[in-house]
Structures are given as C-alpha cells and as structure tokens.
Structure 1
Amino acid sequence: MTIILNKNAKVNKVFNLTIEVRKDTSVCNSFKVRNEKQSAAYDDKLINFNPKESFKLRRFLQSWKYFFHFIKELKEQLTFRVEILNNVKKNIVKILNKFNNVPSYKITLVGVHIRRGDMVNSRGYNVASPEYLIRAVNYFKDRYQNIIFIVASNDMPWAKKYMPSDISVEFIQNSDVVDMATLASCNHTIITVGSFGWWSGWLADGEVTYFKWPAKSGSRFEKRINYTDYFYPGWIGL
C-alpha cells in the first residue's frame, strides 16, 4: 500500500521522509476513516483492513505495538533534516565546551523533558514530581560518569527550581523541533508525561526512565491508557 502525506504537514518539514508527498491530498477526503478505540493503547482491529481499499488512520496511535516489527523502517523515515541537525550540533558543542572538564567522547548526555503547562490543572494527568526527577537523576548517576543533563520544558521556571543542583545541567529553550532533535541526540532520556518526551526517548534509543503513574485514578485518561501497550519494553518506570 502507498502512504500519502500532504507536503505542508509538519512531519514532512521536520523529517527526511521517503514516502509519497503531495501538494494536493484532497483525494484522502473520500477515504474511509479508521479510529482507534483508546488514545494510549493498542487496538489490533485498527491494522486489520482490506489492502484493496483506501483508509485514513486517525487519532494518536500511541503504542509501540503498532510499529515494533518495523522499527528499522520507521527510524529511517524519522531522520531529522540536515539543517535541524546542524543547529543541534552547534548547540551541543557549546554545551560540551561549557563543561569541558573531560574529553567529549567520555561525556554521557542525558536528555530530560519536563511536561507541565496544560497538564498541571488537568483532571486526567498526574504531572511528574520533584521526587521523580531526583530518582531519575540518581538512576543515571549510579550507572554513568561525566554526565551532562540537558533539560527542555514548557515550564522552565519549575524545571530550574526542581532539577537537582548537584549535577552538570543545561537548560535549553529553542523551537520545539530543535528541542526534540537535541533530546533525541542524547545518549539516554528522562521523560515525564506526554508524547513529546515519549518520542524523544524513542528516537534517542538509549535508556529511558518514565514517570510510572501519569493517569489520575478514576479519570477518563486512566480508562484510555494501557500501561503495557503505551510504555516501551525495557524502559524504567520510577
């Protein structure tokens, strides 16, 4: 089957895609729509369809089970464009020069994404606590040396206040694209809640710690999430 994407879609402007990109995708308006049952759980019925028909897949698709057998192919698609990577490289060089106590090849970079903002007052989400950040930082400190933590957040004052102070840490505030590409260029990742951190950790392809209970008990989100489907195998819940 052929994947069709609009030329102006953000994903096309960020990644070097090799799928079919069109200026006009109005033909998709006539396709049958297939929605998943839950926003953060695997729906096996979603991928069982007649390949002779055309479909529009909608919603979140936030489960590793959808693409586990096609990781290599997906990572080839989700390669950041050169101009984005060049920007990231310049920023990382500046960070390494700032903490230049050891050669760069001996440095371990741990990306940290702290999602708050709209989730702080949400009825469905539990935002990560300062105690979680301490546990996550200590997890990596116990396993690696010469660590630099690179933090991106949509609530930078909170992040600066509650990130542990006894570490080498750099706070970045670029565009959302450059922030994600920077986190994805790190060796390992600390994520809190939300898909931005999830994909940053997946793209980085190192060890990932996550906030173990992001859904409030009894909330609508708790009914829409399956933790086994959502969190990637091997990631560390803290």
Structure 2
Amino acid sequence: MIIIRLRGGLGNQMFQYAFGKSIARKLGVDMKLDLTSLLQTHHKATTTNRDYQMNIFNFGDSFLIQPNSIRLLNKLHLNFLIQIIKSIKLIGFKKYKEKTFTAEELIINTPKDKNLYVGYWQSEKYFKNIETELRKDFRFNEELSPQAKSISEAIIKVNAVCVHVRRGDYVANTGSFNCSNLDYFVDGTNYIFKHTNNPHFFVFSDDPEWCKQHLKFDYDFTIVDYTTDKIKYKEDLQLMALCNHFIISASSFSWWAVWLSNKKEAKVVVPKNWFLDKTTDVSDLIHDSWIKL
C-alpha cells in the first residue's frame, strides 16, 4: 500500500491523486489518501483553507483517516488525537518528499511500496501511462444545474475560448505566485483572435466582480457569473472544459480544464512566468505547443 498526502485546492488534489494512482498501478498495490494536512485549519491571510474536493468525481475514495473524523476532531480542538492516529497508521511507512518541481525519473521508474508520498507532483509524465483510466475517474458525478447548463449551451454554439482569471489567495500571496496582470489577458485575447475564427471569450474567475470592473476586451466576451445550488467550482470546471481554446492563469485548476477538454487542436495561452521566481523549471508542466505570453 502507498499513501498520498493531499494539499491545496482541486487542481493540486487531482495532480496528487493521478500521481498516486499511477504508482499504485505500477506496484500492484492499494492507495490511500491522507487528508490530515489538507483539512487542518489555517489562519494566515495568504493561505486558503481547503476541503477534500474530489468527491465531485465518480471514483471511489479510500482514506487513511475518514474526513468526517478529522473535521470533528478539529472542531473539538483535538488535533493532537489526529496526529496520534496518523502516527499509528503510518508505522512501517517511509516518507518520501518531492525534491524538484520537474518529474523525478527515479520515482517514475522505481517507485516504492510502503511510502508516504508528499508533494504536488505537477507533471503529466507521472501519469501519462494511465491517461485512459484517469479520464474515467475524472468524470463528473452530477449533471450541470439549469443555470450552468444554459451557459454550456451558449459555449457549444460558438468558438468558445476559456479565459481563467485566478485571483483569491494569489493576490495576497505576492511572494510566490504569478497573479497575471491585465496586459497578459489582453495580449492573450489578441493572439487567439488572430489565430482562430470568430472566437467568443468566456471569462471564468473566483472574483467575477473584479473582472466586470477591470476586463474590457475588444472582442465578443462573456463574464461567467451565475448562481447555483450545486458545487460552484465543479460546474466551473465542467464549463471551462467545454471550451475549444484557453487563456489560463498560472493555476493547476485551469491546467486541468485544458486536460479534461482533450481537444488536440486547442490553442492554449499560458503566462511566460508560471511563478514569480523565474528560475523555477516548469517545462514538465507546460506543453511545448502552448503559447507563452
């Protein structure tokens, strides 16, 4: 058995799950998901508290500790009990921590059983071998709400371009992440307009009000803003994946929208610098065919 420690939002969780499933398949063992770090409550302005978000998909879950138990103990301020339970369950396991942002050939070629794997694992090289199986796992388990469905109908009628504007904790965390400026999105729409026929830009964001105030494109565009009684990020991801082309933020969430769309002819615009630290090698994350602006 191997254990994968989950951290971050949905996009990060999907990378970690895909990485773990590939290793489990190679070894012929089971995989469990460790949510103890994910569900721990943080109080920093630069850190967004996350929940387990992959329950929007059809695959079965297997946890080191059940999420409801973790949430209850956190609520009762008994986090130390979580650590004790986790320590007992991890007896006999070695911890392997991701060493670089690029794919580690040692892990790809010689993964090891009885390991707790800790990292983000943001490279398709880790899971390309199980792509068909992952596409089945990452099927959404519910239909779109009527509100989102009306947007999906508008998307499929035109040459839709997804523009993903990631703000949220990127705005506060100015030390690491590239929160792309307005020029990037303007340059991206100009590029797509020149290289496709009659594009219509659909703007998705965790801050649609900001987009309404600041984004003014010279082309047909729609800022996607709707209410739903379902899970909003799930519906956004489904809608984004329906598009033909993409202008994405430096965000694993929009990376997965491109992957889920599975459109081989898609034009994908990405920020030239994924991180503010320009020395970070993202060559395993960004496809050679994607346009860097």
Show the counterpart of 1:115. Answer: 166
Distance in 2 (CA, whole Å) between partners of 1:85 and 1:208 is 27
Distance 2:211 2:160 in 1: 18
TM-score by length of 1: 0.77
Matched, 1:34 2:96: yes
SS at match of 1:83: coil
Match of 1:214 among 274, 283, 290: 274
**Pick from 54, 66, 71: which aligns with 2:131?**
71
Q: CA RMSD of the aligned region, Å?
A: 3.0
Q: 1:97-112 maps to which residues of 2 (within 5 A)? A: 104=157, 107-112=158-163
The 2-side partners of 1:120 and 1:84 are apart by 30
Count of residue correspondences: 219
- Tell whether the 8 Å contact from 1:193 to 1:214 is kept in structure 2 after alignment: yes
Paired with 2:214 and 2:161, the residues of 1 have a C-alpha distance of 16
Q: Assess, with a 3 A threshold, how the Cα gap between structure 1 residues 127 and 9 changes in structure 2: closer, same or farther.
A: closer
Query: Which runs of 5 or more structure 1 residues have no equivalent in the other structure?
Result: 97-102
Q: Which moved more, 1:129-138 or 1:22-31?
A: 22-31
Tell me whether 1:177 sits opposite 2:237 in the alignment. no
Q: 1:157 Cα deviation (Å)?
A: 3.5
Q: Post-superposition shift, 1:191?
A: 0.4
Per-residue Cα deviation, 1:167-214 (whole angstroms, up to 9, x for no partner): 222222451121111111211211021211221222223321101113
**Matching residue's letter, 1:113:** H
Under a length normalisation based on structure 2, what TM-score does the superposition of the two structures give? 0.64
1:152 aligned onto 2:204: yes
Deviations 1:126-176 (A, max 9, x none): 321222111211222122233221111123233234434322222224511
Q: Which residue of 2 aligns with 1:99?
A: none
Task: Within 5 Å, give how 1:190-229 maps onto structure 2.
Answer: 190-205=247-262, 206-217=266-277, 222=278, 225-229=280-284
Q: Is the 8 A contact 2:241 2:257 kept in 1?
A: yes
Residue of structure 1 in register with 2:41 after alignment: none
Whichever residue aligns with residue 194 of structure 2, its letter is D
- Structure-2 change in CA distance of 1:233 and 1:76 (3 Å): farther
Letter of the structure 2 residue corresponding to residue 35 of structure 1:
K
